[in-house]
A and B are shown apart, each in its own frame.
Chain A
Amino acid sequence: MAKKWRKVAIIATSLVMASSIVASTAGCKKLVVNVDPVDYAKHTYYTYTNESPSSWNEFSYESENDRIILSYIGSAFFEFDYDFGSEGKFKTDGSLNKDAIQEGKFTVNYSAATKLEDVSAEYVGQYGLEKEKHSLLVDIDDPADAPAGKHVYGDADNGYFYIDDAPAGYEAVMAPDGSDVYYETDPVGKAWKITLREDLKWDDGTPIKAEDFIYSMKQQLDPAFKYYRAQEYYSGNFILHNAKNYVYQGSEGWFAGDTSYKNYSESIDDKLVFSLGSSSENSDYDGAICSFRQWLQDNNYAKESTTAAEVGQFLELNQVATAAELAKIEHKKLSEIKADATLKAIWDKVIGWWQTEPDEELDFFVAEGKFPDMDFEEVGMKALSDYEFVVVYDNEISDILNEDGSLAYGAGYYFSSLPLVKKDLYEKCKQAPSGSNELYTSTYNSSVETSASWGPYKLKNFETGVYFELVKNENWYGYNLPENKGQYETDRIYYRIISEWNTAWQYFQKGGVDSIGIDVSIAKDYKNAERAYYTPSSLTSSIHFQSTLSALTKEKGNAMLKYQDFRQALTMGIDRAAYASSVTTSSQAGLGYFNSLYYYDVANGGVYRDTEQAKTALLNVYGGTYDSATGKWTVGTQTYDTLDAAYKALTGYNLEGARKLIDKAYDEALANGDIDAKGKVTLTMGFPEDNTAYRRYFNYLKKAWTDLVKGTKLQGRLNIKFDGNHPGANAWATDFIDNAQYDICCIGGWSGGEWNMPYIIGSYIRDSRYAKGWDPNGADTKFTFTIKEATGEGTEDYTGTHTIKEWFDYLNGTGGEGAPSFVQAPTNSKLDIIAALEERILKTYWSCPAISGYSASLMGYKTEYISYDYNTFMGYGGLQYMTYNYTDQEWYDYLQEVHTLNYK
């Protein structure tokens, strides 16, 4: 019996082991990656993503992964292309003239659309469009300032003004109540007529017409679905007329008083709740805020976080009522207010100050109600014919057309498409509400069967977590365009889902992935490889110091951070180039908030960092001094003949200077009692988790700062701690910015907005900034500056002394009513103030740039980009211009021969 058992055991073990060996040897003749040629494609681009897309429905997509498929199955009205200069895109033999590509330049061309017109003037009186009024009343301090012949009105108490002449061709008009004299102009940039190509088709051949875009927008805004992306059409840079009202229709809950009730009458007094409070203060009222407060926020008199008490103070300053009085009626019903003589007296003051028209009582209240129903006809979008439609925005959309009528960069950048779904398929994909979900949902664009394409590729296969595959959409209009001749060589795109970079790297070396980013672990061997290429990113990572002063205490040992000299010293003690190469694969030292991808003048290719103003700003920040007598710059002990030479030599690294600042800050802190004579400085660096990558940051900075304090009064007294306990999405940022849980954040930064510098500089000023504790509107940030031709070419210069925040607001025209606006100032004038703002913000030393983002990648032997010079507008030309050194069959045969590719 024992023998029998032993035999069974031996046989079972042998079988299992043998099957493993057989299994292994059986596979050895095949390639270890699947690159088998298929009969429906000649050139396949193999790539990978770390996660499957889940839904590429334009109305609701959420992740960047979802956008992958969308980018292939959709088209654009207008598209960027390389600027091939005077030589043209094609050579005489018809091949692409890639040598003619103009570095850094671009063109914007019509693609799915054939014509774009600004028809705002034609729509005055419709969709809320009105003529724009320009007041002719000019305020003056002294009657003598009035031009000769102009009658001066007013008096010393109320101020003087005169009435200017209307420009030629315009008539001066007096307001019916005599309060203003103005002239009117047609609105511009609000209503746009788009003419579509007549050969637009879905991948099954169904024609696409203007009405399809209208239908799609109606679905996008459908309140029964509450699509996540719906808000983009009313809360972002493009406010589609009535989009919000359409989305909100039928909603029940608390709203501003004039939303719930169109007219005021005493019968609704017990429905109206007085509120100046913020959304968070009004959580009992669904977060609704009153229209008056909304007006304050829109005009930058208040922020979302401003409290009711602060609004009260604002009204007190305007002599409406005291803050204490207003606090008494906050959250009281109007009926309660009127019933109490004291409260009524307060209310009378408020409404007496505010009201000029009927029903304006409602502006101060929130009320429970229902958003009125709305017909889609009232939304600013309608078809004019089969191939023409108009879209009307409440705000002016600029930089879309050049003066000569050609397309400007804005057309390609943010006006290139509107949502489009295939009507019959979309209707089939609608899902009725189920369970606790009151919303309709849709399965549109979530599988091969529910997908439709009007782009260059269509989805052929999709398996979640495994792969997806796209092939050419033969019904795409673009393949017939002469300007696309010789392009789109890729006829199949194969995405593998690979989460682990090491696995992807092995796939790449086996020919199963055609390009890959270089991880820091292999950077040493591959960053200088022949097939390596570098892509700049607009990301600038900074070292942020905790600016919430209450969190900087002697007890914690971090109070030294309060001292600007100390913060400056810490940043001067970092060799940024060495730091960048220690913690990243290929990034470079970053001294300013904006790198070479930022344009101050997009139309003319004006790169911000190349300008004299931007270079001067950084030299001023990092210790450069200019001798106006000799015209030379001095940085440290070196003198340079030119600004460029001094700028090139700038590193921001100055140990000697930094040590002096450490001692200076220490003396000051000692005198202020922020540190004891033998006290230690303990600074905690926060990270999401404890891993090798974050340890690299920590180790480098710890060593740099430990070296920095050598020979200073803090020698041996600086303790840098690692805190890798901030897991979860963005917890590391929230814990630093909002919760002040640690002292130094070195992994945060800003990117994007490369073509909108006036706006993006606000990242360092807004509430979401990393160093939230310092006040960009504080008196200590004031500086005097002169904006040339402040309100447009040929206008007068503006000189003023304002805070950083105020200058920023004026630059963006968001300073509120009566505040200066430099939106129309010439580009160079805006450049001046942007550089001045960058310099001033840098000099606070709360957020100090350290690393300018670059990523390194390897391009496989199979494919080539048209150009390896990165173009901000075109990247490397993408799949449109990608060419192949091997067909799929040739590649397969080649891999059978070599098995492993060597890219060193």
Chain B
Amino acid sequence: MYMFKYVMKRIGLMLMTFCVIMLICFVLIKLLPVIPNSQAGDKEYLESIIVARGYRDPILVQLGRYLKRIFLYGDFGVGVNMPEYSGKPVWDAFVSRLPPTILINIYSSLIGVPIGLGLGILAALKKNKWQDHTISTLVMVFISVPSIVYAFLIQYIFCFKLEWFPLGVADTIATGASFLSWDMFVAMMPATLSLCLGSIAGYARGTRAELTEVLTGEFMLLARTKGLTRGQATLRHALRNSMVVIFPSILSEFVSVLSGSLVIEQIFVIPGVGKLYLTAINSVDYDFFMFLSGFYCLVGLLAGIVVDISYGFIDPRIRMGAK
């Protein structure tokens, strides 16, 4: 019951936060100067187009219309200044671009989490031995080097030189292959690897640091004196305790990758959502900007709640909302 109340309270607060953020976003984007279709030509006419679109009305009037449109008709608007999407519904554009981004994100997590955790555990268990030094060095390298560098290297080595993978994902999409097909999985591998190398390093570093600390705890000594093997003590006690810190970082990584990676998508020719947000801001496309802001804001807020709740599952001592 405590938990239920807590979740409800958090959801209520989340909605309030969401509304405030969206209101700020709406006002801020509307405060930017409206971009006309052209700097040349009949300025009066171009201005009349802006007026007819309602962009010169008071911001609150525009907000009212915007909310009415969404809640009454489920209409998120159409792109106006967005390259590639002018005149096209925001919802359709976003939904059509989301699958590749989500898939790559999932593949990246599926590969990155076990490897990252595995390496982290190994490094912690072999602390200050050659295994730890090797892993730590590699971790430092992968964390320091930006993913764009891996992306170019992976593309050049695995796609161009060794020809293990297609150069771009778009070629596979163009053949009509399903997003869940084997061909698509193969095509997405280079981008997935580029994305997850940094994550692997991050997970490994985090796991090693947490686990090393936990392993030196007195309760670990107690666990061993109870008769548990080193493996049992590590898995049941040490790892579980360290997950309190590691698990939220996995979730937040997942959420951040959901917004797509502009560079990775461009290099591997992936029609994902990475470019949409930036383009929406640069081109001052109100409907795209608001929708994407709303989406990412909601995902971020939900992730916060999920992370908080997850603490309770990982560590039973943590009870949300309990007095």
- Nearest chain-B residue to A446 (Cβ)? B87
Contact B189 A20 (CB under 8 A): yes
Complex Cα distance A873/B201, Å? 57
Which of A16, A51, A236 contacts B83, CB < 8 Å?
A: A51
Contact A16 B162 (CB under 8 A): no
Contact B52 A54 (CB under 8 A): no
A 644-690 contacts with B by CB, 8 A: none
Contact B269 A497 (CB under 8 A): yes
Interface residues as binary, B248-291 with A (CB distance below 8 Å gives 1, 0 otherwise): 00000000000000000011110100010000001000000000
Contact A466 B271 (CB under 8 A): yes
- Nearest chain-B residue to A61 (Cβ)? B86
Binds B, one of A108-116, A125-133, A227-235, A263-271: A227-235
Contact B235 A32 (CB under 8 A): no
B234 to A: closest C-beta gap in Å: 8
Q: In this assembly, does B66 line the interface, its C-beta being within 8 Å of a C-beta of chain A? A: yes
A 1-33 contacts with B by CB, 8 A: 1-3, 5-6, 9, 12-13, 16-17, 19-20, 23-28, 30-33
Contact B271 A3 (CB under 8 A): no
Known contacts: A234-B42, A235-B42. The answer to whether A54 contacts B79 by CB under 8 A is yes
Contact A54 B110 (CB under 8 A): no
Which of A16, A30, A53, A900 contacts B114, CB < 8 Å?
A: A16
- Nearest chain-B residue to A436 (Cβ)? B54
A249 to B: closest C-beta gap in Å: 12
Contact A436 B57 (CB under 8 A): yes
Interface residues as binary, B73-109 with A (CB distance below 8 Å gives 1, 0 otherwise): 1010111001111111000010011000000000000
Complex Cα distance A259/B73, Å? 39
Chain B contacts for A27, CB-based, 8 A? 163-166, 186-187
Q: In this assembly, does B226 line the interface, its C-beta being within 8 Å of a C-beta of chain A? A: no
Q: In this assembly, does B44 line the interface, its C-beta being within 8 Å of a C-beta of chain A? A: yes
Which of A9, A232, A438, A503 contacts B52, CB < 8 Å?
A: A438
Chain B contacts for A728, CB-based, 8 A? 282
Complex Cα distance A1/B187, Å? 38
B 169-190 contacts with A by CB, 8 A: 170-175, 182, 185-187, 189
Contact B166 A32 (CB under 8 A): yes
Q: In this assembly, does A435 line the interface, its C-beta being within 8 Å of a C-beta of chain B? A: yes
Interface residues as binary, B8-45 with A (CB distance below 8 Å gives 1, 0 otherwise): 00000000000000000000000000010110011111
Which of A234, A251, A503 contacts B167, CB < 8 Å?
A: A503
Q: In this assembly, does A274 line the interface, its C-beta being within 8 Å of a C-beta of chain B? A: no
Contact A439 B49 (CB under 8 A): yes
The interface size of chain A toward B, counting residues with CB under 8 Å, comes to 81
Q: In this assembly, does B219 line the interface, its C-beta being within 8 Å of a C-beta of chain A? A: no
Known contacts: A279-B44, A503-B266. The answer to whether A16 contacts B115 by CB under 8 A is yes
Q: In this assembly, does B160 line the interface, its C-beta being within 8 Å of a C-beta of chain A? A: yes
Contact A437 B118 (CB under 8 A): no
Which of A63, A226, A436 contacts B48, CB < 8 Å?
A: A226
Complex Cα distance A60/B49, Å? 12
Q: In this assembly, does B311 line the interface, its C-beta being within 8 Å of a C-beta of chain A? A: no
Q: In this assembly, does A55 line the interface, its C-beta being within 8 Å of a C-beta of chain B? A: yes
Binds B, one of A386-394, A505-513, A754-762, A856-864: A505-513
A363 to B: closest C-beta gap in Å: 18
Q: In this assembly, does B158 line the interface, its C-beta being within 8 Å of a C-beta of chain A? A: yes
B143 to A: closest C-beta gap in Å: 21
Q: In this assembly, does A219 line the interface, its C-beta being within 8 Å of a C-beta of chain B? A: no
Which of A53, A434, A496, A499 contacts B75, CB < 8 Å?
A: A434
B 56-79 contacts with A by CB, 8 A: 57, 62, 65-66, 69, 73, 75, 77-79
Complex Cα distance A319/B68, Å? 59
Contact B54 A54 (CB under 8 A): no
Q: In this assembly, does A378 line the interface, its C-beta being within 8 Å of a C-beta of chain B? A: no
Contact A232 B97 (CB under 8 A): no
Complex Cα distance A279/B41, Å? 14
Q: In this assembly, does B134 line the interface, its C-beta being within 8 Å of a C-beta of chain A? A: no
Q: In this assembly, does B155 line the interface, its C-beta being within 8 Å of a C-beta of chain A? A: yes
The interface size of chain B toward A, counting residues with CB under 8 Å, comes to 78
Complex Cα distance A461/B118, Å? 46
Complex Cα distance A235/B45, Å? 10
- Nearest chain-B residue to A900 (Cβ)? B160
Contact B49 A436 (CB under 8 A): no
Complex Cα distance A506/B174, Å? 18
Which of A436, A437, A500 contacts B266, CB < 8 Å?
A: A500
Chain A contacts for B168, CB-based, 8 A? 33, 496, 498, 503, 507
Contact B160 A435 (CB under 8 A): no
Q: In this assembly, does A286 line the interface, its C-beta being within 8 Å of a C-beta of chain B? A: yes
Known contacts: A16-B114, A51-B84, A55-B87. The answer to whether A32 contacts B269 by CB under 8 A is no
Q: In this assembly, does A560 line the interface, its C-beta being within 8 Å of a C-beta of chain B? A: no
Contact A231 B41 (CB under 8 A): yes
Chain B contacts for A503, CB-based, 8 A? 155, 167-168, 266-269
Contact B231 A3 (CB under 8 A): yes
Complex Cα distance A900/B167, Å? 13
Which of B37, B47, B160, B173 contacts A228, CB < 8 Å?
A: B37
Q: In this assembly, does B129 line the interface, its C-beta being within 8 Å of a C-beta of chain A? A: no
Contact A2 B155 (CB under 8 A): no
Which of B84, B163, B271 contacts A32, CB < 8 Å?
A: B163
Q: In this assembly, does A867 line the interface, its C-beta being within 8 Å of a C-beta of chain B? A: no
Contact B271 A497 (CB under 8 A): yes
- Nearest chain-B residue to A36 (Cβ)? B175
Q: In this assembly, does B6 line the interface, its C-beta being within 8 Å of a C-beta of chain A? A: no
Complex Cα distance A55/B81, Å? 12
Known contacts: A32-B160, A503-B268. The answer to whether A512 contacts B88 by CB under 8 A is no
Contact B52 A439 (CB under 8 A): yes
Complex Cα distance A3/B97, Å? 43
Chain B contacts for A251, CB-based, 8 A? 48
Q: In this assembly, does B297 line the interface, its C-beta being within 8 Å of a C-beta of chain A? A: no
- Nearest chain-B residue to A234 (Cβ)? B42
A837 to B: closest C-beta gap in Å: 23
**Interface core residue of A20, A251, A466, A900 (most chain B CB under 10 Å):** A466
Q: In this assembly, does B137 line the interface, its C-beta being within 8 Å of a C-beta of chain A? A: no
Q: In this assembly, does A502 line the interface, its C-beta being within 8 Å of a C-beta of chain B? A: yes
Contact B267 A33 (CB under 8 A): no
Contact B114 A502 (CB under 8 A): no
List the interface of chain B (C-beta within 8 A of A). 35, 37-38, 41-49, 52-54, 57, 62, 65-66, 69, 73, 75, 77-79, 82-88, 93, 96-97, 110-111, 114-115, 118, 152, 155-156, 158-160, 162-168, 170-175, 182, 185-187, 189, 193, 229, 231-232, 234-236, 266-269, 271, 275, 282
Query: Can you show 7 pairs from A to B with CB atoms below 8 A apart?
Result: A2-B234, A12-B114, A28-B162, A51-B84, A54-B82, A54-B87, A498-B269
Which 9 interchain pairs have the tightest Cβ spacing? A436-B54, A465-B271, A2-B231, A24-B164, A34-B171, A2-B232, A231-B42, A235-B42, A499-B266
15 additional contacts (CB under 8 A) given A17-B115, A436-B54, A503-B268: A6-B231, A13-B118, A17-B111, A51-B83, A54-B83, A228-B49, A251-B48, A288-B44, A436-B69, A437-B52, A466-B174, A496-B171, A498-B168, A500-B269, A510-B167
